[in-house]
Amino acid sequence: MSRLRLPGSLDETVLPFGLHKARAQKAITFIDQEGRKPDVTTVNPVDPLCSRGAKSRCVGQMKGVPLYYDNGHFNGTGANMVAGQILSVLDSQARDGAY
């Protein structure tokens, strides 16, 4: 991860989305393949961290709080954020009668 000054934010740690995608291609492929199976729900943990489009990037911290232990693994804060995302998806499916 590198440090870049972004308009409208304090010093955030960011990674270009293309670099993230290249590093995580095997995991992305696996998640996509599993998601095509019946009765399988997948959650991409970096979706809320990565923007798409002309200035696509992934953040490594939010409001000055780091989300990663190293260049590829969440720390406790990042893991809790992902766990919340997973629980939200499962709760939504339970309300919809999927489970």
Q: What is the pLDDT of residues 10-23, one digit of tens each?
A: 446 788 888 888 98
Q: What is the pLDDT of residues 62-74, one digit of tens each?
A: 888 999 888 788 9
| Pair 65, 12: CB distance under 8 Å | no
Q: What is the pLDDT of residues 20-48, one digit of tens each?
A: 889 889 988 999 999 999 988 888 887 88
Average pLDDT in the 76-90 region? 91
Closest CA to 1 of 35, 42, 50, 52: 50
Alpha-carbon gap, residue 65 to 44, rounded angstroms: 21
